[in-house]
Amino acid sequence: MFFCNFTPSKQYQNRIMYKSKRLTLLIIITLLLPFVSFSQKESELNVIRNFETNFDSLLNSYYIRQNTRVIKKSYDKAYDNLCEPTSVSNVSDSIIAKRLRALPSNIELTYNRQVRNIIEYYIDKGGARVGVMIGLSKYYFPIFESILDQYSVPHELKYLVVIESALNPNAVSRAGATGLWQFMYSTGRSYDLRINANVDDRKDPLKATVAAARFLRDLYRIYGDWQLALAAYNCGPGNVNKAIRRSGKNDFWGIYNYLPRETRGYVPAYIAACYVMNYYKEHNIAPAILSKPIATDTITVKRDIHFQQIADVLNIPVEQIKDLNPQYKRDIIFGTQDDYHLKLPFRYVNDFISLEDSIAEYNKDKYFGKPEVEKEYITKEVKLTHKVRKGENWNSIARRYGVSVKDLKRWNGNKKTLQRGKILSIYKNQKVEVTKKEKEESPFTEQNAVSNDAEVQSQEQTVEATNDDLSEETTTKKTKEVTKSKTKDTKKTKKAKEVNENKKYHKVKKGETIAAISRKYNVPMDDIFKLNKLNKRSVIKVGQSIRVK
């Protein structure tokens, strides 16, 4: 019996290993294909979901609601023109690719299956939506083009707004991106957009477009490629840089699988928007006829004005003002606080300029409330009481109320000991609001002195009235008596006047004492006590008038 030892050659072993590896790789690819396909579909679905959400919100705007036909058609979920000859499903890839190549564009408009899928959604399943956006584009696109041109950015970037917000200035994403250009809070602030309790410039078509043009220009300077700049606009430069490092490629389709899922569908959606907004006629889509005014003007507002005031005075629907000025959160423009603007249909502009003051004053209290009266305060001495507790003494109580021990004892009869439960009196200067009565009263002032001249005149009038009822003789006699009386009174009045003229008063200021006042006017303290009927225990108050002469 013979045994044959068969050893395979090295070449044969290598061939077997190669086939094994190839089979393993084929199995892996087969297993991964559904996931890759799912990932692509998911990225397309994200774009479609965002578009539908923003468009449904757009239907609530004033100008869209004016056209009931558009609303009805837009809400018709069964609307589907797949069977029509003009549907995308009946147009070959070569024709769509040729049409894209014919568009003048600084951005490469690549055509592939992902782009076709989104074109089919826009036209075959959302034709009415596209009609609304084309109607709105007549208002928005001239604004976008002039600003993009100003910042040397390609005009065709205006189509970004279709996929970002469906031309809805009030669009807000789940992540908080807001406005036509879907700015996040931090990015908006870094490009000088005001976001506060009263205004959100991300919703302002003019200011948000300026910010978007600057942002896109900065991104293009980083990458030198518009498709990469668009990807970075969607997911941020950090994610694009990471995808470039991982893939080793430097173009959008090269880094496609390394980008966040939502961003993968972003550039295809942009290319689809370019196609749809230029070739809608070929697919039998008609622009919606909207009442949104193309002729508008922007005015700087100098007063604080509520939208309802403008509506009432100019006879314009308040919803129309809101639709043209979506950046104002509370329907109020605080023109006195900052540089704010108002957009109106052109025919109302001159009326607003000439009537701005009247508009601001119309029902002002209703919208802004009555202005607060400035309160006046005076420093006044108030009496406080304190109940002595266990463990307290003169020093601890004085420290607590910020007074001296000497004053505390003086106010409470200069007692040496304290009893628990005793009520102490404490006097402190505090700011209190001036009441109407206190304003009218002004103690220790010359105005309160009774004029002797007024009394004399009163007596004269009385005498004259009495004379009518007396006989001539009686009158003569009475006149002599009154003359004597008048002479005496005149002397008294002169003396009183001399006394009043020689009087001098001092208004007590914070921290002043009678001793300080006596030194200031070189008047003995005893004289001040006598002139003001005070004694050594008397307390003078801030604002009190003290006679010093």
C-alpha distances out from residue 54 to 82, 136, 261, 285, 329, Å: 24, 14, 20, 20, 19
Instruction: List, for residues 152-195, the tens digit of each pLDDT value.
Output: 999 999 999 999 999 999 999 888 999 999 999 999 999 999 99
Which ranges in the chain are annotated with CATH 3.10.350.10? 377-432, 504-549
- Distance from C-alpha of 261 to C-alpha of 235, rounded to nearest angstrom: 10
* 472 CA to centre of own chain: 87
Instruction: List, for residues 208-244, the tens digit of each pLDDT value.
Output: 999 999 999 999 999 999 999 999 999 999 999 999 9
Token pair for 478: 């009475």
SS3 category, 442: coil
Are 314 and 351 a contacting pair, CB within 8 Å?
yes
Enumerate the active-site residues.
164
Most confident of 222-226, 405-409, 442-446, 469-473: 222-226
Class of 504-549 in CATH: alpha beta
CATH H-level, domain 377-432: superfamily:
LysM domain (3.10.350.10)
Token pair for 149: 């041109």
Burial class of 52 by CB neighbour count within 10 A (0 to 12, 13 to 18, 19+): middle
Q: How confident is the model at residue 74 (pLDDT cuts 50, 70, 90)?
A: low
DSSP 8-class letter at 362: T
Q: Which is it for the CA torsion 449, 454, 456, 459, positive or negative?
A: negative
Listed in sequence order, the residues at least 6 apart from 519 whose beta carbon sits closer than 8 Å to its beta carbon are: none
SS3 category, 412: coil
Instruction: List, for residues 313-348, the tens digit of each pLDDT value.
Output: 999 999 999 999 999 999 999 999 989 999 999 999
Q: pTM for this structure?
A: 0.61
C-alpha distances out from residue 263 to 212, 213, 289, 315, Å: 18, 20, 33, 46
